Amino acid sequence: MTPSPSPPAGGTNASPQPHGDSIDFQPRKAAIIGVGLLGGSIGLALRRRWPSIEVFGSSRSEKKRQRALQTGCVTTACEDERAACRDADLIFICTPVGLIAEKAIQLAACCPEHALLTDVGSTKRKIVDTVESDARAAAKFVGSHPIAGGEKTGPEHATADLFENKRVVVTPTERTAADRLTRTIALWQALGAEVLQLSPSVHDDQLAGVSHATHFASCAVASILREDEITLIGSGWRDTTRVAAGDPQMWSDIAAQNAAPITVRLRAIRQQLDALIDAIDAEDRDTLMRLLTAAQQLRQCVPAPDSIRAPDSIPAPESAAETDSDA
């Protein structure tokens, strides 16, 4: 396992690294800043992989610290982030995205020289740019984004296998230290993930497409519900709007971190909506069929959740109706 320390080409995904169980370092102490679902799951996964590791978790919430201890996510819980990072080999910043860069810079100043700092934020460009404006933090930090999670939050829902067969994007730049990148990749692989490398801006552009803009579009759909229609809701509405139940504060932070790529994608969605409205208004069946068939083909080319590799090509469309269609 000798991943290249250079950043990937701008516009395309690097292939995922093969799943590796080997890792050439033995972390003795990890610090997790923010012990929620992701931070807690990192703690459990680290302890399963290296049973003797010390895992210090910090949270401002006394209740969350207690739950993290009770569920075994951490071996020590503390309020003071700096204390958690003292002597740590690994530091995971699992706070809301708006706080990550600031904490990385602060903690890089007080953690050991050899420490690796990483994060789990679902935006990367602003975080990495800000961290790299500080030489000491730039030397220790590699951006990470595990594509894993769930609607349930808090350390009580953490699981040691949350990252098993999930993708983790790491986002090196020209300033990233080669040894830190190697260690970051090996670390996520040791926790069961498939790692791929993207530049921070390509990451943000692509995540805007498959996650961030999707979230806001789902909120727009949920917004128009009328209370007297609740009794008529079926599985279609339920699934299409599931993510709209997410934390407004968190998504507002994400919007602030990745505004331009998100609004580009939201405008593309709006353009598609307009085309559908126009075709329905004009009773233009040919255009409507073309738009619906294109959407169906794109949706059907996505592999099942347990198969995380992309198909070689987009398959021919197959009918998979929501309800019945027979004459």
Please, which of residues 49-108 interact with a second copy by CB under 8 A?
59-61, 64, 94-96, 99
- Tell whether residue 199 is a contact of a second copy (CB under 8 A): no
Question: Which residues on adjacent β-strands are paired with residue 77?
Answer: 57
> What's the rounded Cα separation, in Å, for the pair 86 and 115?
10
> What's the rounded Cα separation, in Å, for the pair 193 and 156?
21
> What's the rounded Cα separation, in Å, for the pair 295 and 268?
13
Q: CB-wise, 141 or 216, nearer to a second copy?
A: 216
Of the ranges 109-117, 170-178, 184-192, 261-269, which one interacts with a second copy (CB under 8 A)? 261-269
Q: How many residues bind a second copy (CB under 8 A)?
A: 125
Question: Among residue numbers 265 through 324, which ones bind a second copy (CB under 8 A)?
Answer: 265-270, 272-274, 276-277, 279-281, 283, 285, 288-289, 291-296, 298-303, 305, 308-311, 314, 319-324
Give Cα separations from 64 to 73, 151, 157, 250, 253 (angstroms): 11, 17, 12, 18, 21
Q: CB-wise, 110 or 264, nearer to a second copy?
A: 264
Give Cα separations from 202 to 44, 63, 133, 199 (angstroms): 30, 38, 20, 5
- Tell whether residue 178 is a contact of a second copy (CB under 8 A): no
Length of the chain: 327
Of the ranges 17-25, 35-43, 134-142, 177-185, which one interacts with a second copy (CB under 8 A)? 35-43
Q: Give the shortest CB-281-to-a second copy separation in angstroms.
A: 6
> What's the rounded Cα separation, in Å, for the pair 145 and 38?
11
